[in-house]
């Protein structure tokens, strides 16, 4: 018999919830198991004076699924005769692909006034979709944002015999993100249940939508296993194989017979990271940060140079507002640094520019690839050979001049605004806060 992929260890209900007469999670129950890579969750919630909009399933602050109240529950009506409508039952199914092997989910109610309250906590374990393959090429993820020196870092990886980065000043490959996103989409119940509940009014019906079809009878066990387990594992195997094939082709173009890693940039979003590590459990990560004051200068200068409005500047009206926009990027990088701890390498752009030899030696040692003096010197020499694409990417004449440029480029008003926007994050990442400089 096929072993269970999901085991539920605990379902803990909240004592009471403001705005609700009562509630319950009917399934799953502690001790339940499933052979699928998803978890069905159902229950009921009776609102008080206010309306109940829906019930959400939450993992680390992100909604994995949502369910409106669609089931009539006469048994609940008999308990709460003040209810005018017995439609208080809900049901959904959420994909667990990408979640850790020990997971914790929160079930919460969304009231009509916008308030959200936790109804229950579900804890369990799951098996990853694919077993790890240590012999294969492994991802080297650079978690960062634009104008942090990430393209220069990719250029350096491009020159190391053990790492692949495809023509970084010409392309920004997202092969691993592309196929991981495909796995994420096709492993959703709203997608894999489409063969049984096809919505042809949607031209992308095969992806499904945010709502899991619950108005169909449950499929027979072999069909359910095919949809929610076997097909997902086959898709995951395809995704991993296509990523590996892409970078094997890159390795051939670069005459690198035994690369260990392929490097790609990924924005610090937990969703893509979870899916990438589902496909490649041994993924390594570099968290690249740059003084956010210099980052703001670089973005504004690049937009001026290219006559564009990008990197988030298009979302606000003024440069002062843009600093607060960048704060979100700063706090997200700090968050993943704190969450990953020593499993990721925190790389400061300034160290890479001012002390390149020492910084690269430490980085290569972390990755377990050649970090000899000869290798580091060779990587730096080849990466520094000028190209037209490199010149078009820069916004300062000399990389060293880009370190601390905010002191020259930002107006006094902008510098003062940096105190509120960045100082707490800068201190956590080892930078001198603006308030100390201006004092």
Query: pLDDT tens digits for 274-284?
Result: 999 999 999 99
| Predicted pLDDT of residue 84 | 86
Contact 275, 97 (CB under 8 A): yes
DSSP per residue over 184-200, as a string? Answer: HHHTSHHHHTTTTS--T
The CATH architecture assigned to 6-126 reads: Sandwich (2.60)
Alpha carbon distances (Å) from 401 to 191, 406, 436: 51, 10, 21
Alpha carbon distances (Å) from 398 to 170, 354, 394: 21, 12, 9
Segment 325-330 mean pLDDT: 94
Q: Is the dihedral of CA 380, 384, 389, 393 positive or negative?
A: positive
Strand-pair category, 284-289 with 138-143: parallel
| Predicted pLDDT of residue 369 | 97
* 129/102 Cα distance (integer angstroms): 14
| Predicted pLDDT of residue 192 | 94
Segment 125-134 mean pLDDT: 93
Segment 33-54 mean pLDDT: 93
Alpha carbon distances (Å) from 269 to 145, 191, 331: 11, 22, 12
| Predicted pLDDT of residue 392 | 61
| Predicted pLDDT of residue 208 | 74
Supply the mean pLDDT for the chain. 93
Strand-pair category, 52-59 with 102-111: antiparallel
Tell me what percent of the residues of the chain surpass a pLDDT of 70: 97
Side-chain-side CA neighbours of 345 within 13 Å: the count stands at 22
Length of the chain: 439
Domain ranges of the chain: 6-126, 138-438
* 389/2 Cα distance (integer angstroms): 54
Q: Could you tell me where the DSSP H helices lie in 384-433?
A: 388-393, 406-409, 412-428
| Predicted pLDDT of residue 92 | 94
Closest CA to 279 of 105, 163, 137: 137
DSSP per residue over 212-224, as a string? Answer: ---SSPPPPHHHH
Q: Is the dihedral of CA 44, 50, 51, 55 positive or negative?
A: negative
DSSP per residue over 359-389, as a string? Answer: HHHHHHHHHTS---HHHHHHHHHHHTS--HH
Phi then psi for residue 193, to 5 deg, are: -85, -5
In three-state secondary structure terms, 142 is strand
Query: pLDDT tens digits for 378-427?
Result: 999 999 987 766 666 556 667 888 999 999 999 999 999 999 999 999 99
Is the pLDDT score of 64 beyond 70?
yes
Closest CA to 211 of 199, 229, 223, 201: 199
Burial grade of 144 (CB within 10 A; 0-12, 13-18, 19 or more): buried
| Predicted pLDDT of residue 90 | 96
Query: pLDDT tens digits for 189-238?
Result: 999 999 998 878 888 888 877 678 878 888 999 999 999 999 999 999 99
Q: Could you tell me where the DSSP H helices lie in 260-404?
A: 270-279, 292-306, 319-340, 349-354, 356-367, 373-383, 388-393
| Predicted pLDDT of residue 386 | 78
Query: pLDDT tens digits for 175-185?
Result: 999 999 999 99
* Domain 138-438 grouped into CATH 3.40.50.300: yes
Query: pLDDT tens digits for 346-380?
Result: 999 999 999 999 999 999 999 999 999 999 999 99
- If phi > 0 it is left, if psi is from -120 to 50 it is alpha, else beta; for residue 96 that is alpha
């Amino acid at each position: 018999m096929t072993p269970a992929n999901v085991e539920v260890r605990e379902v803990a209900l909240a004592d009471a919830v403001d705005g609700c007469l009562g509630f319950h999670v009917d399934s799953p129950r502690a001790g339940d198991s499933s052979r699928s890579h998803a978890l069905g969750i159902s229950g009921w919630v009776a609102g008080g004076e206010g309306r109940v909009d829906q019930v959400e399933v939450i993992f680390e602050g992100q909604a994995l699924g949502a369910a409106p109240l669609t089931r009539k529950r006469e048994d609940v009506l008999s308990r709460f005769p003040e209810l005018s409508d017995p439609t208080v039952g809900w049901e959904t199914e959420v994909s667990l692909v990408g979640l850790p092997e020990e997971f914790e989910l929160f079930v919460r109610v969304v009231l009509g006034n916008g308030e959200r309250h936790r109804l229950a906590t579900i804890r369990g374990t799951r098996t990853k979709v694919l077993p790890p393959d240590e012999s294969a090429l492994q991802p080297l993820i650079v978690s960062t944002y634009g104008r942090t020196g990430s393209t220069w870092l990719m250029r350096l990886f491009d020159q190391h015999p053990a790492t692949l980065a495809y023509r970084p000043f010409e392309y920004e490959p997202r092969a691993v993100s592309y196929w991981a996103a495909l796995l994420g989409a096709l492993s959703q119940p709203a997608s894999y249940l489409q063969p049984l509940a096809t919505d042809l009014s949607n031209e992308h019906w095969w992806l499904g939508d945010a709502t899991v079809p619950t108005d169909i009878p449950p499929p027979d066990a072999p069909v359910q296993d095919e949809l929610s387990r076997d097909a997902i594992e086959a898709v995951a195997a395809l995704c991993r194989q296509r990523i590996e094939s892409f970078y094997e082709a890159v390795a051939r173009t670069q005459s690198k017979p035994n690369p260990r890693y392929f490097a790609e940039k990924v924005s610090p979003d937990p969703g893509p990271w979870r899916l990438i590590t589902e496909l490649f459990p041994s993924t390594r990560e570099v968290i690249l940060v740059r003084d956010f004051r210099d980052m703001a200068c670089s973005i504004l200068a690049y937009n001026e140079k290219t006559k564009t409005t990008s990197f988030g500047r298009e979302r606000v009206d003024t440069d002062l507002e843009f600093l607060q926009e960048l704060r979100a990027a700063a706090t997200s990088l700090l968050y993943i640094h704190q969450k990953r701890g020593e499993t990721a390498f925190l790389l400061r752009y300034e160290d890479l520019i001012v002390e390149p030899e020492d910084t690269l030696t430490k980085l290569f040692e972390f990755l377990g690839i050649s970090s000899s003096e000869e290798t580091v010197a060779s990587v730096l020499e080849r990466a520094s050979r000028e190209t037209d694409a490199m010149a078009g990417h820069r916004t300062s004449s000399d990389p060293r001049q880009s370190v601390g440029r905010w002191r020259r480029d930002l107006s006094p008003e902008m510098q003062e605004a940096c105190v509120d926007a960045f100082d707490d994050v800068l201190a956590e990442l080892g930078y001198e806060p603006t308030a100390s400089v201006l004092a």
